[in-house]
Amino acid sequence: MNLLRRIGRPRAAPTLASLDAYALWAAQYPPTAHNPLMAVEGQAISELLPNVSGAEAVDLAAGTGRFGLLLRERGARRVIALDNSPHMLAGSPLPFRVLSTMEAIPLASESVDILICGMAVGHLPRLGAVFAEIGRVLKAGGTALVSDFHPILHFTGARRTFNARGKTYAVEHYPHLYGDFHAAASAVRLRIDAVREPSLPGHAAGAPVALVLRLIAVK
């Protein structure tokens, strides 16, 4: 998909609620990074990912399973894919798939070693509930990697868009600043351990396109 259509300023593109958007988008949404933004965001997550060999892992808001496949390739013992879109889950090759929202993870407390949530928390107007759930399910010392569409892009007018049925649509998105992530993490048992803000060569003088955080669950 053309990057400018993906993160540019769509002409009168209607904005869809995320569930409605993914119902349309799922048929053409492969379990790989399929545009440059996703490529640099995925690379940042890959670089921040700790050793997951033998880990109990979760791909939260998994979509078609891009990061779940990465976790499996890196040696996770089991990867559970959670997403609230049945259309996206149907396109995932991962064997353990569960219909679930980010704000109510159907797993026991302190049962997860590693969790990835890629480019999804911006679909929620507030971060508190999802961060509380991430903090709840992670074991002490466990790691979460969370990425989002960079707020700089949003505030300069860019939108996440896609094409379906001959039309361009924008996906519901709420910008979250670094301070919002810090506040949400500090309110629960999470500590921000590392931050990446990858950019694209030649895009807006090197302005970041994604915000990637690594968080540790403290005791």
Specify whether the CB–CB gap between 141 and 169 falls below 8 A: no
Torsion sign across C-alpha atoms 146, 80, 26, 132: negative
Specify the CATH number for the domain of residue 195.
3.40.50.150
Grade residue 3 by pLDDT with cuts at 50, 70 and 90: very low
Per the structure, how many domains does the chain have? 1
Query: How far are the Cα atoms of 87, 136, 152, 157, 217 from residue 109, in angstroms, in the given order?
Result: 28, 5, 34, 39, 12
The answer to whether position 15 is within a domain reads yes
Specify whether the CB–CB gap between 119 and 147 falls below 8 A: yes
Name the average pLDDT for the chain. 93
Which tens digit of pLDDT belongs to each residue from 85-105?
Answer: 999 999 999 999 999 999 999
What pLDDT shows up at residue 202?
Answer: 74
What pLDDT shows up at residue 150?
Answer: 96
3-state helix, strand and coil shares in percent for the chain, rounded to the nearest 5: 35, 30, 40
Where do runs of H (alpha helix) occur along the chain? 3-7, 18-25, 36-48, 66-73, 86-90, 128-137, 151-155, 178-186
Which tens digit of pLDDT belongs to each residue from 164-201?
Answer: 988 999 999 999 999 999 999 999 999 999 999 999 98
The answer to whether position 93 is within a domain reads yes
The answer to whether position 58 is within a domain reads yes
What pLDDT shows up at residue 39?
Answer: 95
Grade residue 219 by pLDDT with cuts at 50, 70 and 90: confident
Grade residue 2 by pLDDT with cuts at 50, 70 and 90: very low
What pLDDT shows up at residue 123?
Answer: 97
The answer to whether position 98 is within a domain reads yes
Burial profile 140-156: b = 16 or more Cβ within 10 angstroms, e = fewer: eebbbbbbbbbbbbbee
Which tens digit of pLDDT belongs to each residue from 131-158?
Answer: 999 999 999 999 999 999 999 999 988 8
Query: How far are the Cα atoms of 25, 29, 52, 62, 194 from residue 87, in angstroms, in the given order?
Result: 9, 10, 28, 12, 33
The answer to whether position 13 is within a domain reads yes
The answer to whether position 7 is within a domain reads yes
The answer to whether position 52 is within a domain reads yes
Range of the domain at 179: 3-103+122-205+213-217
* pLDDT > 50? residue 10: no
The answer to whether position 138 is within a domain reads yes
Q: What global pTM score does this model have?
A: 0.92
